[in-house]
Amino acid sequence: MSDYVELMVEDTGIGIEEENIGKLFERFHRIENSKGRSYEGTGIGLALVAELVKLHQGTIRAESKIGEGTRFIVNLPLGSSHLIPEQIGKRDSYQLGKLGMAFVEESMRWHLVEKTVLQTYLNL
């Protein structure tokens, strides 16, 4: 049994040129003149993921082939022994706050929509 979990996300897009791979996790970095995208991102998504992975003492990397796509690999240690005890919240004292509740409520709305669509169109 390994002591980490690996998460891999892969696409079949146009790929990312080698000179941009090292910059992917920098805040506000955007690949200019990308041929396969209809809009540009803000450049914070991958930087945020990298920061969260770092906080959990994990690793993240990207592999890409032009014309084939890109793969992102995240490795996170299992358990909590690698974390600073003062930064671990107790389960019974955890509070979502307004922003957290907004995410929960949005998720519940999507679940209701999904359930309604399945019942209506697929007779489930």
What is the per-residue pLDDT across 69-122, written as a single tens digit (0 to 9) for each? 999 999 999 988 888 887 776 665 556 677 777 777 877 777 777 777 777 777
Confidence (pLDDT) at 113:
73
pLDDT tens by residue, 55-80: 889 999 999 999 999 999 999 999 88
Helix (H, G, I), strand (E, B) or coil at 37: coil
Distances (CA, A) of 63 to 12, 60, 72: 12, 10, 6
d(CA 34, CA 39): 9
Mean pLDDT of the region 10-34 = 81
Confidence (pLDDT) at 95:
63
pTM over 0.85: no
